[in-house]
């Protein structure tokens, strides 16, 4: 791994850790979900550094895109009476710091995706072996649906359990806060 790749890895890893902490510590569920989106983008940058550009693109499309849209939709649907994000009350220094972090991650991500030669990993999946097997997408899909089918399915079950848990917790809070009004006849 070259010096610039090592620096990019530490930037992505540090940002992923910082946003992970923000995901857990934020009181507002919508801002917590957006912190999780940034964690997914940092993971995509790390995958791109490893030369797994398909996995990086899938990380962004599937997790940061589809899954998080679903999570935010469920959060906003279940807590529609509470304000989500109020950017007017956000301090200006926080907005400036967020803009700098996003700009820095954009620069690093641009550098990573700009035709850098991937670092070759030891093992049977050399670039030549992958090309002979039909390409990166074919090798990845064959591995995912054969050797790694159990972790793949467990991940989907874990995501489903997270959605069901979030809905159950949110519904429990709405039932406690909603007073029962007797209907008059």
Q: pLDDT tens-digit profile of 144-175?
A: 888 888 887 887 787 778 777 777 776 766 55
* 3-state SS, residue 96: helix
Contact 5, 119 (CB under 8 A): yes
Residues 39-68: pLDDT tens digits? 989 999 898 888 888 888 888 888 877 777
- Asked if pLDDT for residue 38 goes beyond 80, the answer is yes
What is the C-alpha separation between 144 and 36, in angstroms, rounded?
A: 24
b/e map 146-157, b = 16+ CB within 10 Å: eeeeeeeeeeee
Q: Angle 61-63-67 (CA atoms, 0-180°, nearest 5)?
A: 105
Structure-model confidence comparison of residues 172 and 141, the more confident one: 141
CATH architecture of 3-116: Up-down Bundle (1.20)
Residues 70-120: pLDDT tens digits? 777 777 777 655 555 566 677 888 888 888 888 887 887 777 767 655 555
What is the C-alpha separation between 5 and 114, in angstroms, rounded?
A: 12
DSSP string, 45-57: HHHHHTT-HHHHH
Give the Å distances, CA to CA, from 2 to 36, 55, 122, 136, 145. 29, 21, 16, 23, 33
């Amino acid at each position: 791994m070259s010096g610039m790749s090592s620096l990019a890895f530490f930037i992505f890893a540090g940002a992923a850790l910082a946003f992970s902490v923000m995901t857990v510590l934020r009181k507002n569920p919508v801002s917590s979900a957006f912190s999780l989106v940034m964690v997914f983008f940092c993971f995509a940058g790390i995958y791109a550094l490893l030369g797994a550009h398909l996995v990086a693109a899938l990380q962004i499309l599937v997790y940061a895109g589809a899954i998080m849209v679903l999570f935010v939709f469920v959060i906003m649907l279940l807590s529609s009476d509470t304000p989500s994000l109020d950017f007017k009350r956000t301090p200006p220094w926080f907005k400036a710091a967020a803009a700098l972090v996003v700009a820095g991650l954009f620069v690093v991500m641009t550098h990573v995706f700009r035709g850098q030669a991937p670092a070759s990993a030891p093992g049977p999946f050399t670039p030549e072996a992958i090309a002979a097997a039909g390409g990166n997408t074919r090798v990845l899909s064959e591995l995912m649906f054969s050797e790694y089918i159990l972790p793949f399915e467990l991940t989907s079950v874990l995501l489903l359990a997270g959605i069901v848990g979030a809905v159950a917790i949110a519904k429990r809070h709405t039932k406690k806060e909603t007073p029962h009004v007797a209907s008059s006849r």
